[in-house]
């Protein structure tokens, strides 16, 4: 029995029933990592194997700590982990070992997870291509010459290659949806506030980014989401919720709006829309009505709001990097661009961006009176060569920023909607693609239930594992 092919939920239950030992699980995952990680480079700062086996043996003797008891996990390298190197992909922090866990890591550790290392990410999480000067590039398990996406590229690649059973990701601008699509796994961006951050820096205006779960099936997504979710009393706007294994939704009578390329506003590489539509046909076969929808809001307005608010937040949070000449010299140009854009903003520009955001939220709320979900592609390009920093153009349309090619994720991110990245199969090029299933704010359980119905009809991750 290959323990690395078993779902996190089943594996956790087997450990709880003592049908398998934590040390046995650790040995299986260590063997898979030793075999696959040198080529993929998904897991970085990997801990000593003997230390991991010793910790797993101790877990075998201990009482159950929680739903992740004894499961090997690698935490995204944007999350501080006590005693485990955390670099943020930056040479400034190449040797940083935190003395405390961030809240996300603390919750997973309290649930019994054994941290084996970190998952690779772009420097500061900027860009959907996981490369940095500290750990190098993460490669796609389905084609080692291609990117795994980002910023949760290490998490997605680790899941796809069976080096992890479940993984945490984070998502500001598609950072777990894009790599999920590129690596044929699931990624869930929850309603903003459901998975809280740490009470550091600004916590009132910084409402664009969130952490969330990634997995090879929906039940495992819910398992990890239940660990991560719940209010942080020190941070505002929190939401409380508990998540059980989702029962598949009855899709009969449900209406899904298909937004395609937003009326041509979002450039798409050939085959992306056609591949996305294969996922829509699955929903139709399950009984849902799919309705093509004209753009419900001007795309350029959404982009204006997005780049303004994003730059404002980056400039505020990372101004210290910029003001320190030595650190500035070690920082990637994309991050410096974000900071410089933010430092030039006026209060009026930020206010106008927030007004656009508010109007889009109201318009989207109206859509959810008519539709149960909205669907968009999860990416605008197929996984691209690892040598690229980012796609410079799509179908001859020049990308005017380092992240314009990811614009399709903005509608959900800007207003904090739950968005589930579903695998949509493989194109004629043999590369994976996915779609975003987007629900109204707070409808996380309903989105996961629809995702479970889809998963039971498709199960792309299990049926099409990479051949490393």
pLDDT tens digit string along 23-78?
Answer: 999 999 999 999 999 999 999 999 999 999 999 999 999 999 999 999 999 999 99
Confidence of residue 402 (pLDDT cuts 50, 70, 90): very high
Q: CA of 29: how far to CAs of 6, 77, 154, in Å?
A: 11, 19, 16
Token duo for residue 115? 């941290």
The CATH code of domain 3-463 reads 3.90.1300.10
Question: What confidence score (pLDDT) does residue 464 get?
Answer: 97
| Residue 1 reports pLDDT greater than 90 | no
Residues 410 and 308: beta-carbon distance below 8 Å: no
The structural domains of the chain, with segments of one domain joined by +, span 3-463
pLDDT tens digit string along 282-338?
Answer: 999 999 999 999 999 999 999 999 999 999 999 999 999 999 999 999 999 999 999
- Beta-strand ranges (E) seen in 152-198 are 166-171, 186-189
* Percent of the chain scoring above 70 in pLDDT: 100
Question: What confidence score (pLDDT) does residue 325 get?
Answer: 98
* Closest by CA position to 228, among listed 218, 217, 214: 214
Confidence of residue 468 (pLDDT cuts 50, 70, 90): confident
pLDDT tens digit string along 377-401?
Answer: 999 999 999 999 999 999 999 999 9
Indicate the pTM of the whole model: 0.98
Q: Which of 30, 45, 175, 413 is catalytic?
A: 175
Alpha-carbon dihedral sign for residues 287, 454, 219, 179: negative
Work out the average pLDDT over 234-245. 94
Distance CA 214, CA 168 (A): 6
Active site residue 318: no
Active site residue 413: no
Q: Which of 30, 32, 76, 128 is catalytic?
A: 76
Q: CA of 119: how far to CAs of 89, 154, 262, in Å?
A: 10, 5, 33
Active site residue 76: yes
Task: Work out whether strand 210-215 and strand 166-171 pair parallel, antiparallel, or are unpaired.
Answer: antiparallel
Other residues' Cβ atoms within 10 Å of the Cβ of residue 106: 16
Token duo for residue 383? 């996984």
Question: What confidence score (pLDDT) does residue 435 get?
Answer: 99
Residues 448 and 246: beta-carbon distance below 8 Å: yes
Q: Which of 151, 152, 170, 305 is catalytic?
A: 151
Looking at every residue in the chain, the average pLDDT score rounds to: 98
Question: What confidence score (pLDDT) does residue 193 get?
Answer: 97
Residues 183 and 460: beta-carbon distance below 8 Å: no
pLDDT tens digit string along 244-260?
Answer: 999 999 999 999 999 99
Helix axes 347-367, 299-323, angle to 10 degrees: 140
Distance CA 430, CA 6 (A): 25
pLDDT tens digit string along 422-461?
Answer: 999 999 999 999 999 999 999 999 999 999 999 999 999 9
């Amino acid at each position: 029995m290959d323990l690395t092919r078993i779902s996190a939920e089943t594996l956790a239950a087997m450990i709880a029933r003592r049908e398998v030992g934590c040390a046995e699980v650790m040995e299986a995952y260590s063997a898979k990592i030793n075999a696959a990680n040198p080529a993929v480079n998904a897991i970085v700062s990997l801990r000593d194997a003997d230390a991991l086996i010793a910790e797993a043996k101790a877990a075998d003797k201990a009482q159950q700590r929680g739903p992740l008891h004894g499961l090997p996990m690698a935490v995204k390298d944007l999350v501080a982990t006590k005693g485990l190197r955390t670099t943020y992909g930056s040479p400034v922090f190449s040797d940083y070992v935190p003395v405390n866990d961030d809240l996300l890591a603390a919750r997973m550790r309290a649930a019994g997870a054994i941290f084996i290392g970190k998952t690779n990410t772009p420097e500061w999480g900027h860009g959907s291509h996981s490369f940095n000067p500290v750990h190098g590039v993460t490669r796609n398990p389905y084609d080692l010459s291609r990117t795994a996406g980002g910023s949760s590229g290490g998490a997605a690649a680790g899941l796809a290659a069976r080096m992890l059973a479940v993984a945490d990701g984070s998502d500001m601008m598609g950072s777990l949806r894009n790599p999920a699509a590129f690596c044929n796994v699931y990624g869930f961006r929850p309603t903003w506030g459901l998975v809280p951050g740490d009470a550091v820096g600004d916590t009132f205006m910084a409402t664009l980014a969130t952490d969330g779960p990634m997995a090879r099936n929906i039940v495992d997504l819910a398992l990890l989401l239940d660990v991560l979710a719940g209010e942080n009393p020190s941070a505002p706007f929190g939401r409380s919720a508990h998540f059980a294994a989702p029962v598949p939704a009855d899709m009969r009578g449900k209406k899904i709006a298909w937004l395609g390329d937003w009326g041509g506003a979002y450039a798409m590489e050939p085959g992306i829309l056609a591949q996305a539509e294969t996922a829509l046909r699955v929903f139709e076969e399950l009984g849902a009505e799919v309705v093509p929808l004209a753009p419900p809001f001007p795309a350029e307005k959404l982009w204006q709001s997005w780049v303004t608010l994003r730059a404002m937040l980056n400039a505020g949070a990372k101004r210290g990097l910029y003001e320190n000449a030595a650190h500035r010299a070690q920082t990637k140009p994309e991050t410096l661009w974000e900071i410089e854009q933010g430092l030039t903003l006026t209060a009026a520009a930020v206010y106008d961006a927030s007004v656009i955001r508010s109007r889009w939220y109201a318009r989207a709320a109206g859509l959810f009176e008519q539709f149960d979900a909205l669907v968009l592609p999860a990416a605008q390009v197929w996984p691209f060569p690892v040598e690229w920093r980012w796609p410079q153009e799509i179908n001859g349309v020049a990308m005017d920023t380092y992240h314009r090619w990811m614009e399709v994720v903005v509608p959900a991110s800007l207003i904090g909607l739950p968005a589930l990245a579903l695998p949509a199969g493989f194109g004629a090029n043999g590369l994976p693609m996915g779609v975003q299933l987007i629900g109204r704010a707070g409808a996380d359980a309903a989105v996961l239930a629809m995702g479970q119905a889809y998963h039971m009809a498709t199960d792309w991750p299990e049926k099409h594992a990479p051949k490393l």
